[in-house]
Amino acid sequence: MTRLATVCCKVLAALLAVAAAGCGGGGETEVVLVTHDSFAVSKDVKAAFEQETGLTLRILQAGDAGEALNRALLTAGDPQGDVLFGVDDSLLSRALDGDLFDEYRSPTLDAVEDAYAPPDDRVTPIDHGEVCVNIDRGWFAKRGLHPPRTLVELTLPRYRGLLVVENPATSSPGLAFLLATVAQYPDRWQGFWRKLRVNGVRVVDGWEEAYTQQFSGAAGSPGKRPIVVSYATSPAAEVIFAGKPLETSPTAAIEDGCFRQVEYAGVLRGAANDEGARKLIDFMLSELFQADVPGSMFVYPVRGGVPVPEAFELHAIRPADPLTLPPEEIEAGRDAWIDEWTAIVLR
């Protein structure tokens, strides 16, 4: 047994040594981006950044936007990486209160459209996406039924049992949809949700369960409900990833009641490579990266005059006047709203 033990000790020691060696250093030649699961970038765009700056871009992603932020909060001051990307309006106050970021004002910020101007000097807007109600066009066509066009129509008896939404306590689009109703009906959103409950709204924990398992319009879904809370760009994704050319999308987004989420990036306080971090943020505002944003992440660029792919023009919507709420109002109300919502809809 002694020999076995020695061998095991050696294996373990070797592992530790390699592990320790494999991740020390880095520093100046590498910039680390901490982000959420939905982050994506084209390979050639990433390569362009690396060539331009001589830095290697390493990407750490885990969990949705909220989880990525919480990991960053846990390691505030001694961060996992140099830049955090993916903080949206509903989380922004928490990030700022947690003293996560160093101040940085990118010179490229002037190219950003006014509507997305940052509320604070510590964060830089990168993209925006709208959470909208999506419908299964085929389902309604087959039954000769008009799909809903507004939020309030969702409470009509003819749409009973057709809507599936995400739990705002556990899902980012779910929270955005709750915020949409708060923004739309500031004093009577509770009544709206009571009616939705009577009308048989189904609540699931996350977007994956809602869209890929409950929504009948998603390709290959076993779902039976033709109305779901998703994104303004989801219908374009159904076309782009259909696996065959499609004239029209099987789904459509409803213009009314869309809620805008702007996603921000910031230089993490205590970053090992803060110069690289600033370069990365500049790059994320460059035309190259901004033009890549729709195809990679299915959100829209914040920079003005950047073209979006044709499928987005044809099948996705760009709500002209989406609902929004100021970050501090969201921070002040969020927990109470979620508790109230839970009591109304789930209990």
Could you count the other beta carbons within 10 Å of the beta carbon of residue 269? 18
Q: Is 203 in the site for other proteins (CB under 8 A)?
A: yes
Q: Provide the mask over 327-346, with x wherever binding to other proteins is found by CB under 8 A and - wherever it is not.
A: -------------------x
Smallest separation (angstroms) from other proteins to the CB of 236: 9
DSSP codes, 204-268: ESSHHIIIIIIBTTSTT----BSEEEEETTHHHHHHHTSSS--SS-SEEE-STT-EEEEEEEEEE
Residues 240-279: x where in contact with other proteins by CB under 8 A, - otherwise, as a string: xxxxx-----------------------------------
- Where does this chain touch other proteins (CB under 8 A) — which range of 6-14, 141-149, 177-185, 320-328? 6-14
Among the listed ranges 78-86, 104-112, 189-197, 254-262, the one in contact with other proteins (CB under 8 A) is 78-86
Residue 16 engages other proteins in binding (rule: CB under 8 A): yes
The size of the chain, in residues, is 347
Handedness of CA 166, 170, 172, 175 (dihedral sign): positive
- CA–CA distance from 336 to each of 30, 91, 178, 179 (Å)? 42, 15, 12, 12
Please identify, among the stretches 36-44, 139-147, 274-282, 319-327, the one whose residues bind other proteins according to the rule CB under 8 A. Answer: 36-44
Residues 160-189 that bind other proteins (CB under 8 A): 167, 169-170
Q: Does 237 bind other proteins (CB under 8 A)?
A: yes
Least distance between other proteins and beta carbon 151 (Å): 22
51 forms part of the interface with other proteins (CB under 8 A):
no
Out of 48, 50, 53, 67, the residue judged to bind other proteins by CB under 8 A = 67
Q: What angle do CA 176, 315, 45 make, to 5 degrees?
A: 80
Question: Tokens at residue 101, please?
Answer: 């970021």
Which of 53, 75, 108, 184 contacts other proteins by CB under 8 A?
75
Q: By CB under 8 A, which span of 3-11, 103-111, 185-193, 282-290 interacts with other proteins?
A: 3-11
Q: And the tokens for 133?
A: 């109600």
Angle at 113 between CA 108 and CA 117, to 5 degrees: 80
Query: CB neighbours (10 Å) of residue 51?
Result: 9
